[in-house]
């Protein structure tokens, strides 16, 4: 009798959590067990993602959480004011489905998932306020949709040309305004000391990323591209000190691996530079297919990884305003986001990554609906052709379907690279 009366019906939130946990654990298990020899230091990251996305563990109960919609909000300033930046870009299909009811059919899955996640009100480490840089159309509009769910959303004006002096001035002012706004909300002032300390700490975190990237230039690549995506993805929400400590461990383990020439892929596995719409956990669909197809991702040009860490801040006199200006310049001028009018910097970055990492080809993924990446596809393909670099362009979304079609195309591309390499010899 009791089993009949005691039954409970799963609430929508519980169902959402269950679905998300399923998505998360599937990817984590693949990374843990699907490849040969993941580094021991990766265990920290596997556990972190499992805790947060399968067990709904909150990490920042005691801190003010500042949500950011894109990478152009300087986390240095947030840390300096004692907040925790939480990047809200989302990779769950379960959230994408919720977002689909709120956004147009053909909208970008990343934006739909981010909106869906916040719409569900089922948010671990719920942001106390959200800053939304006006980057692409969909992100820009998403800000006001999210506001209607009852979040405090502040738009941070962001120019879409970056060559002009006006844009530089504009974004410098914009970031100054952002600092003032956050400073008043946090009830704390930016000082030379706290801002410099934050810049140094982020700078150090970036230097760890640079060291990890450096290892991937070797012939024997000590870490999978998918594992790297997980590491950089953790930076979205992890406690920064823990992240730094875990990366230090990873760096020293990989150092050892490089000495022992440990290679995580096959001897003839083609080396791939990954670019395009960002893979955000657990949407590692395409990166996983690539590394499952006997290729190895040695570098990437995406905003969930390389673009977050690549560029650093230099300041001459270390006054608060100098630091803010230099931060603004870095977040605008060095940014290779396709929202800008011109695409040259991004193309140069991809070529430079191919050369420095000795890559055999580029895989360019765009989310169906991620208009800017779709638009840029042509110019990048043309540039790669000019440079004699093989490139594969694929479109995908967050749905679990498409696997067969995508893996066939990726496998064919990888095969062609192998043949090309063999013929070279």
Token reading at 412: 């064919």
416 binds another protein (CB under 8 A): no
Is 122 or 336 the residue whose CB approaches another protein more closely?
Answer: 336
Of 115-154, binders to another protein (CB under 8 A) are none
379 binds another protein (CB under 8 A): no
What is the torsional sign of CA 379, 380, 382, 383? Answer: positive
What's the closest the beta carbon of residue 330 comes to another protein, in angstroms?
A: 5
387 interacts with another protein by CB under 8 A: no
| CA atoms in the 13 A half-sphere facing the CB of 88 | 34
Among 313, 132, 309, CA closest to 236: 309
* Least distance to another protein, CB of residue 18, Å: 37
Cα(168)–Cα(328) distance, rounded to whole angstroms? Answer: 8
Interface map 180-199 toward another protein (x if CB under 8 A): --------------x-xxxx
Distance between CA 320 and CA 68 in Å, rounded?
22
Pick the binder of another protein from 40, 101, 148, 203 (CB under 8 A). Answer: 203
Label the pairing between strands 296-301 and 361-367. unpaired
Q: Which of residues 228-257 bind another protein (CB under 8 A)?
A: 241
- Pick the closest to residue 379 from 360, 397, 366, 396 (CA basis): 366
357 lies in the site for another protein, by CB under 8 A? no
Q: How far is the CB of 173 from another protein (least distance, A)?
A: 13
Cα separation, 417 vs 270, whole angstroms: 6
Q: Using CB under 8 A, pick the residue from 204, 255, 378, 412 that binds another protein.
A: 204
| Size of the residue set binding another protein (CB under 8 A) | 44
When asked if residue 329 is in the footprint of another protein (CB under 8 A), the reply is: yes
The C-alpha atoms of residue 179 and residue 177 are separated, in whole angstroms, by 5
| Distance between CA atoms of residues 129 and 419, nearest Å | 52
Token pair, residue 164, equals 């002009």
Q: Would you say 86 or 113 has its CB closer to another protein?
A: 86
Minimum separation from the CB atom of position 85 to another protein (A): 13
Residue with tokens 């393909």: 381
- The reply on whether position 315 binds another protein by CB under 8 A is yes
What whole-number distance in Å separates Cα of residue 423 and Cα of residue 425?
A: 5
Q: Which of residues 66-105 bind another protein (CB under 8 A)?
A: 79-80, 82
Asked if 62 interacts with another protein (CB under 8 A), we say no
CB-facing half-sphere around the CA of 273: CA atoms within 13 A: 26
**4-12, 34-42, 151-159, 323-331 -> range binding another protein (CB under 8 A):** 323-331
Q: How far apart are CA 51 and CA 192, in angstroms?
A: 36
Contact 209, 230 (CB under 8 A): no
Q: Is 271 in the site for another protein (CB under 8 A)?
A: no
Instruction: Select from 110-118, 276-284, 310-318, 360-368 the region that touches another protein (CB under 8 A).
Output: 310-318
228 neighbors 205 (Cβ within 8 angstroms): no
Q: How far is the CB of 42 from another protein (least distance, A)?
A: 22
Choose the binding region for another protein from 28-36, 65-73, 316-324, 388-396 (rule: CB under 8 A). 316-324
Q: Does 160 bind another protein (CB under 8 A)?
A: no
- Candidates 29, 144, 256, 321: give the one binding another protein (CB under 8 A): 321
CB 318 to another protein: min, Å: 9
Q: Which of 33, 106, 267, 317 binds another protein (CB under 8 A)?
A: 317
As a whole number of angstroms, the distance between CA 104 and CA 127 comes to: 25
If you count DSSP H runs as helices and E runs as strands, how many of each does the chain have, helices first?
17, 8
Query: Any bridge partners for residue 367, and if so which?
Result: 396
Q: How many CB atoms lie within 10 A of CB 241?
A: 10
Among 147, 253, 322, 411, binds another protein (CB under 8 A): 322
Q: Which residues pair with 271 in a beta bridge?
A: 296
* Contact status: 386 vs another protein (CB under 8 A): no
Which residues are near another protein by CB under 8 A? 79-80, 82, 163, 165, 169, 194, 196-201, 203-204, 206-207, 210, 241, 310-317, 319, 321-322, 325-326, 329-330, 333-334, 336, 345, 348-349, 351-352, 355-356
């Amino acid at each position: 009798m009791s089993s009949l009366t005691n039954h409970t019906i799963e609430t929508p939130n519980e169902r959402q959590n269950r679905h998300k946990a399923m998505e998360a654990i599937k990817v984590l298990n693949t990374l843990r067990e699907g490849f040969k020899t993941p580094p021991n230091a990766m265990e920290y990251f596997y556990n972190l993602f499992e805790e947060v996305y399968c067990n709904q563990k909150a990490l920042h109960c005691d801190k003010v959480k500042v949500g950011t919609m894109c990478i152009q909000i300087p986390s240095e300033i947030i840390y300096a004011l004692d907040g925790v930046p939480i990047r809200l870009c989302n990779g769950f299909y379960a959230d994408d489905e919720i977002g689909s009811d709120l956004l147009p059919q053909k909208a970008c899955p990343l934006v739909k998932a981010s909106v869906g996640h916040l719409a569900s009100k089922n948010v671990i480490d719920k942001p106390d306020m959200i800053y939304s840089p006006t980057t692409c159309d969909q992100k820009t509009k998403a800000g006001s949709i999210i506001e209607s769910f009852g979040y405090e959303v502040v738009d941070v004006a962001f120019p879409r040309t970056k060559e002009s002096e006006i844009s530089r001035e504009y974004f410098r002012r914009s970031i100054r305004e952002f600092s003032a706004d956050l400073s008043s909300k946090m009830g704390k002032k930016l000082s030379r000391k706290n801002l410099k300390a934050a810049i140094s700490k982020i700078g150090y975190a970036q230097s760890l990323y640079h060291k990890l990237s450096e290892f991937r230039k070797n012939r024997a690549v000590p870490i999978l591209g998918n594992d790297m995506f997980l590491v950089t993805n953790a930076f979205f929400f992890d406690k920064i000190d823990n992240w730094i400590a875990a990366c230090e461990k990873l760096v020293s383990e990989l150092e050892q691996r490089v000495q022992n020439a440990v290679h995580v892929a096959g001897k003839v596995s083609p080396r791939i530079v990954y670019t395009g719409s960002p893979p955000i956990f657990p949407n590692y669909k395409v990166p996983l297919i690539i590394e499952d197809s006997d290729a190895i991702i040695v570098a990437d040009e995406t905003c969930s990884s390389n673009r977050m860490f690549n560029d650093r801040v230099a300041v001459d006199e270390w006054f608060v305003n100098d630091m803010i200006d230099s931060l603004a310049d870095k977040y605008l001028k060095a940014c290779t986001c396709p929202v800008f009018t011109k695409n040259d910097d991004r193309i140069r970055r991809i070529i430079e990554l191919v050369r420095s990492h000795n890559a055999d080809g580029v895989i360019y993924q765009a989310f169906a609906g991620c208009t800017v990446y779709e638009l840029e596809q042509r110019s990048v393909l043309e540039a790669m052709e000019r440079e004699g670099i093989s490139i594969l362009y694929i479109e995908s979304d967050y749905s679990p379907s498409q696997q067969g079609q995508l893996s066939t195309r990726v496998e064919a591309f990888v095969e062609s690279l192998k043949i090309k390499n063999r013929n070279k010899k």
